[in-house]
Amino acid sequence: MKTVSLNVALATAWLATSNPARADDAPTGTFEIGAGYSSDEGFLAQARIAQPDLFHTGQGLSVSALISALREDFVLGYDVPNLLGSDLDLHAELFDRSHTYPNVFTRESAGASLELGHRLSRATRVYVRYRVEQVHADPVIAARTTTPIELGNGTVSALGAGLSYSTLDMPFLPTRGTRLELYAESASPSLARAHAELDHARPLLGGPLTLRLHGHATFVRAPDGVPLAERLFHDGSADLVGYPIGSIGNALGDNLEASGRLELEVPLVPSAGLAIAGFAAAGYRYNTDAAYGPVQGMLARSVGVSLIWRSPIGPLRFDWARALDRDGWVFGFAIGGF
């Protein structure tokens, strides 16, 4: 089974929304487009328009869209730094999303979120977030259990808090630094969720080698069982490279998921930006709700090699991954961080 993904991004200036005759009316916005293909999601297309200095107020407005065979994601965002002259920042979103989990159901949601943040230092930020959305779960097959299950349709409101810390030198293929994200929320009706992410990169032997580590984990629980629309499903290579979407875990979703990846990059032709990397990855999933399937966990592991080229249009990766509990190699190709 092969996985191929491609992302090409173009950025152009978006004219300032005021009198262009003024010297300070230089274009400040961006327009970005991207496209790709993967065996997990089929064809992907992405577009984003952003104006970080709307009407010279310092406030930002953005519109983004992402469409694939499994997802539709439309977001209108508004940012207010230094809210009312303070050191607080405000981020608001309106969104409309649809995500299909093959052979299980489609989750559709529309709503809004409001986030208030405070930067403790250049690298550290804390925030609180309120989210409200209307959710509809549309099963595409009969439930694989004799016990009735809760779909999770209706209005969900959630209040959460988080902390982010980042000293990475670049968002994709960093060579040094650390990024940590912690977030927890309580949602109605009676749902709790916690999420953590960690990225770390450091040079070895004075710089020729680069070690990178990535890990993320999510836990969700509810007293009467987590409804279908809020459960955790394996999302393909984005969760664990070498395992196609939905190929591991409980058929009707899990309550806990965690995965990690360790990678060592070795330069081949430094002047041309060519390098090779070896990696090992592991993922664990666990279901605690008997109504949705067996109460049990599953561990999956994979290894592989990558050819990396830091090209003028962005980093290119050619990945060959092999799951340790099955035959065959999965090939992946990506431009940028799509």
Q: Taking 60 as the threshold, does the pLDDT of residue 71 lie above it?
A: yes
Q: What is the mean pLDDT of residues 242-259?
A: 91
Query: What is residue 6's predicted lDDT score, i.e. its pLDDT?
Result: 38
The pLDDT of residue 139 is above 60: yes
CB atoms within 10 A of CB 123: 15
Percent of the chain predicted with pLDDT > 90? 57
Q: What integer pLDDT is reported at residue 106 of this predicted model?
A: 92
- Does 10 have pLDDT greater than 90? no
Report the pLDDT value the prediction gives residue 113, as an integer from 0 to 100.
Answer: 97
Domain CATH for 58: 2.40.160.50
Which structural domain, as residue segments, surrounds residue 82? 10-335
- How high is the pLDDT of residue 28? 73
* pLDDT exceeds cutoff 50 at 1: no
Least confident of 227-236, 290-299, 313-322: 313-322
Mean confidence (pLDDT) of the chain: 86
**pLDDT value for 287:** 94
Kindly state whether residue 108 falls inside one of the protein's structural domains. Answer: yes
Percent of residues, the chain, with pLDDT higher than 70: 87
- pLDDT over threshold 70, residue 15: no
* HEC letters along the chain: CCCCCCCCCEEEEECCCCCCCCCCCCCCEEEEEEEEEECCCEEEEEEEEEECCHHHCCCEEEEEEEECCCEEEEEEEEEECCHHHCCEEEEEEEEEEEEEECCCEEEEEEEEEEEEEEECCCCEEEEEEEEEEEEEEEECCCCCCCCCCCCCCEEEEEEEEEEEEECCCCCCCCCCEEEEEEEEEEEECCEEEEEEEEEEEEEECCCCEEEEEEEEEEEEECCCCCCHHHCECCCHHHCCCCCCCCCCCCCCCECEEEEEEEEEEEEEEHHHCEEEEEEEEEEEEEECCHHHCCCEEEEEEEEEEEEEEEECCEEEEEEEEEECCCCCEEEEEEECCC
Residue 1 lies in a domain: no
- The count of structural domains within the chain is 1
pLDDT value at residue 40: 74
pLDDT at residue 11 in the model: 34
Q: Which pLDDT score is estimated for 9?
A: 36
Question: What is the per-residue pLDDT for 37?
Answer: 65
pTM: 0.84
| Mean per-residue pLDDT, 151-160 | 94
pLDDT tens-digit map of 270-312: 888 899 999 999 999 999 988 888 899 999 999 999 999 888 7
Indicate whether 319 belongs to any domain: yes
pLDDT reading at 126 higher than 50: yes
Confidence at residue 323, expressed as pLDDT on a 0 to 100 scale = 92
pLDDT in tens, 211-229: 999 999 999 999 888 999 9
Residue 132 belongs to some domain of the structure: yes
Phi-psi category of residue 288: left, alpha or beta, with phi > 0 → left and psi -120 to 50 → alpha: alpha
Residue pLDDT, tens place only, 173-205:
899 999 999 999 999 878 999 999 999 999 998
Q: Is residue 212 part of a domain?
A: yes
Note the pLDDT of residue 333: 72
The answer to the question of residue 114 being in a domain is yes
pLDDT-wise least confident of 12-26, 64-78, 296-310: 12-26
Q: How confident is the model at residue 5 (pLDDT cuts 50, 70, 90)?
A: very low
Q: pLDDT at position 245, please? A: 86
The predicted pLDDT at position 21 comes to 41
Residue 151 lies in a domain: yes
Q: What's the burial of 302, exposed, middle or buried (CB within 10 Å: 0-12/13-18/19+)? A: buried
**Is the pLDDT score of 141 beyond 70?**
no
pLDDT band at 251 (very low <50, low <70, confident <90, very high): confident
**80-118 per-position pLDDT tens digit:** 998 888 889 999 999 999 999 888 899 999 999 999 999
250 lies in some domain: yes
More confident residue, 237 or 83: 83
